[in-house]
Amino acid sequence: MQHDSLARKLGLAIRAARSANGWSQERFADSISMHRAYYSSIERGEKNITVATLSRLAAGLGVKPHQLLRDAEL
């Protein structure tokens, strides 16, 4: 599987988790001290994020990192 499809799947899983909480991209990005434009690029699958960033996103969403990977079917 290519990197871009992996990042895209993970981005969609992150977006779904954020949306399920009723948060806008801006509100969520602010809550985890991340620039909204950078966060948006993660959701679009344009960034190859680190494990540390995945952990930061998961903590902000109130889930474990492996749950996001599972939801992305990775």
Domains of the chain: 3-62 (1.10.260.40)
pLDDT exceeding 90 applies to what percent of the chain?
Answer: 93
CA 19/CA 4 separation, integer angstroms: 22
C-alpha span between 35 and 42 (Å, rounded): 11
Q: The pTM is what?
A: 0.92
- Averaged pLDDT of the chain: 95
Residue 62: predicted pLDDT: 97
